Structure 1
Amino acid sequence: MAEEVLDRLGNMKLTVEEEEVIAISDKGRLEEMESCSLSLVGKFLTFKAFNKRAAWSTLRKAWGVHTGLQIIEFGSNLFQFKFQSEFEMYKVLRGGPWTFDNQLLMLKKWHNGMTASNVKLEHASLWV
């Protein structure tokens, strides 16, 4: 079966559209990195499934951020929260801990070079 899959993959050909090279300018890359500078990366401390739509709605209300917040899933239970202002981002980061359905949301400020494979969410501030 593995050989059959390899044979089929070897026979695949790109269409003209798929062969087109997409050039990303330094300016475009810098703009995207700048937009990420107002981001937090988060993960719910859970293995159970949860309703993402309900979680996002609840968090937006709790955070007081109704417009301009982008939430992007970029890994298994790993999310990027892109804010419009530094004030909103730090208000959320410092205002925790945050939970949804009794599951802790671990948050960390995004930094250059962060990917789904190298994100480490190891600390959470808790009120006792």
Structure 2
Amino acid sequence: MDSDFIERIQRITLTLEEEQPIMVRAVHREKILEEYFLSLIGKFLTTRPLNLKAAKNLLRSVWKLGSDLKIVDVGDGLLQFKFSLESQLRWVWDNGPWSFDNNILALQRWEKGLTTRMVSFTSLLMWVQVWGLSFDLINEEAGLDIGRGIGFVVKVDCRALASDQAHFLRI
């Protein structure tokens, strides 16, 4: 940019009328916040175009929510998943990770004041299967140790340990 243009931009000032704050009424805000509280913000981690209509239909089907789930494109490749019940949101959150067409869906819980520019996916919960361990290492303590070597451990799945199918550890 030329210096003359920059100088003109720097001299721009607001009129007294333009400086007045704009008041936004809080009508129905509590109901809106309650609706948003039952939301997850998600993004498919991909660089190629995605058939969003097919992805939305598949997620509604896999999550068994049908029209109970509202999926809104909020810009910047972000989707807002609006649930009717906390139990539905919790189930989706706890049973991921989710994907469509080999593209992982990163999710984050909605928070009051969140904007599209603030959304950041810095971690992703996923199950890891560890195969080929000696029998004495197929236990919760070994799972915690192995998991901590990989990252942050949320849970070691002990159901497989209690069944007749303890071929691997799920962390």
TM-score normalized by structure 2? 0.59
Q: Which runs of 5+ in 1 are unaligned?
A: 1-22
Task: Give the equivalent residue in structure 1 for 2:37.
Answer: 37
What letter matches 1:115 in structure 2? T
Deviation of the 1:67 alpha carbon:
2.1
1:63 aligns with 2:69: no
Percent identity reads 38
Q: By how many angstroms is 1:85 displaced?
A: 0.3
- Structure (1 or 2) with the larger CA radius of gyration: 2
Structure 1 outlier segments of 4+, above 4 Å: none
Deviation at 1:24, TM superposition (A): 5.6
Q: CA deviation at 1:123?
A: 1.1
Query: For 1:91 and 1:25, how far apart are their aligned partners in 2?
Result: 35
Matched with 2:112 is 112
Describe the superposition over 1:67-95 as per-residue Cα deviations: whole angstroms up to 9, x where unpaired: 22111111221010000000000100111
Aligned-partner residue type, residue 96 of structure 2:
G
Decide which moves more: 109-118 or 23-32: 23-32
SS of corresponding position for 2:53? helix
Matches within 5 A, 1:28-107: 28-107=28-107
C-alpha offsets along residues 31-72 of structure 1, whole Å, 9 cap, x if unaligned? 111110000000011111110110001111111111221111
Q: Secondary structure at the match of 1:47?
A: coil
Residue segments in structure 2 that go unaligned for 5+ positions in a row = 1-22, 129-171
TM-score between the two structures when normalised by the length of structure 1: 0.78
Note the aligned Cα RMSD (angstroms).
1.3
Q: Deviations over 1:8-38 (max 9, x none)?
A: xxxxxxxxxxxxxxx8642412211111000
Q: SS where residue 26 of structure 1 aligns? A: coil
User: For 1:122 and 1:58, how far apart are their aligned partners in 2?
Assistant: 25
Larger RCO (CA within 8 A; separation ≥ 6): 1
